[in-house]
Every structure is written in C-alpha cells, then in structure tokens.
Amino acid sequence: MKKSISIVMGSDSDLPVVKDATKILSEFGVPYEIDILSAHRAPDATLAFAKNASKKGVRVIIAAAGGAAHLAGVIASHFPLPVIGIPIKSSTLSGIDSLYSIVQMPPGIPVATVGINGAQNASLLAIQILATSDKKLEKKLVDYKKGLAKKVLEKSEKLKKLGVERYLLEIKK
C-alpha cells in the first residue's frame, strides 16, 4: 500500500516523541514512512527528500525537530502539499525555541504547527487532511472522537460517584 504520510525527524533523539504519531497512524490503519533527516547536518538529503516526496505519493509530511527546528520549514519550501511541524522540547529552552522556529514561517511557506511534543495531534491532523477525500478515514475519525467523549463522561460519572478525595486516590494507583 502506498504511504501517503511521511514522518521525518531531525535526530533519533526525537523518536521517543515521534513514536506517539506512529501509534495513532497505525491505530487508524494509515501507512506511513519514517526517516531521520536534518536541515543542517544533511541538507542535500533533506532537499532531495522534499523535492521527491509528492512524486512518491506522499500527501502530508510531519516534521519533528528541536532547537533551531528548521526541518519543517526547509521541507515546506520545496514540498507543495501540507507540512505539519512538531516542535520538540529541548533542554535549553524547553521547546519554546523549537516552537517559534516552526510557527514563525515567512509568508508563502506555511507550516501547520502543533504544540511542543504534540506528535499525537500531528498525526491526527494529517489523518484529518487525508480524510477530506476518504470517507472511511472520516468515519474512523468520527468514531475516535466519540470514544474520547465517552471516556470523559465516564470519568465525570466516576468523580461524582467517588468524590474528589477517593477519585484522586484512584488516579494515583
């Protein structure tokens, strides 16, 4: 099956965050490819990837990077379809540097940006983009969101039944 979503990360140290995106994509049955690229340390490979991705059938790219976090922007400047950036929390500025680097793109080079370490939302946004032309995927998203609502309402009922203190003790277990 053709892989319509590509996930790239600037370093293998980003993989513990990025794995949350892969879990969601797998849960939805969306095939993906995953690579390590770097806008700074492997610029030629990153450029080749960005220029050839749509020819391979990639419809959305998720790009995760920390620090200067130029990966998503560099890819977006050469890839004609949606790019979603995941700012990775860094030890220096807690990911604020990554967030600003990804979200503050110049006019003409949009990058959708999720929250710091927001890999799960990045994959859900990518799925939503694909679902604009895939009714089966749209149905899975509707069911997923119904499941989220069900979990919240179950927690609310449990809180009412147990009260604050007992509920908090349950959470700690």
Residue 162: both structure tokens together: 């147990």
Q: What whole-number distance in Å separates Cα of residue 57 and Cα of residue 41?
A: 26
Q: What is the pLDDT of residue 1?
A: 55
Give SS3 for 64. strand
Q: Does 41 appear as a known binding residue?
A: yes
Q: What is the pLDDT of residue 39?
A: 95
173 residues of the chain, pLDDT tens digit each:
578 999 999 999 999 999 999 999 999 999 999 999 999 999 999 999 999 999 999 999 999 999 889 999 999 999 999 999 999 998 889 999 999 999 999 999 999 999 999 999 999 999 999 999 999 999 999 999 999 999 999 999 999 999 999 999 999 88
Q: Where are the domains of the chain?
A: 5-133, 138-172
CATH of domain 5-133: 3.40.50.1970
Residues whose CB is less than 8 angstroms from the CB of residue 19 and which lie 6 or more positions away in sequence, other chains included:
119
Report in angstroms the alpha-carbon separations of 8 from 25, 26, 138.
14, 16, 24
Which pTM does this prediction carry?
0.94
Query: Which residues of the chain form beta strands (DSSP E)?
Result: 5-9, 32-36, 60-66, 83-88, 112-113
Count CB neighbours of 31 within 10 A.
12
Q: What is the pLDDT of residue 2?
A: 75
Closest among 81, 59, 52, 36 to 134, alpha carbons compared: 59
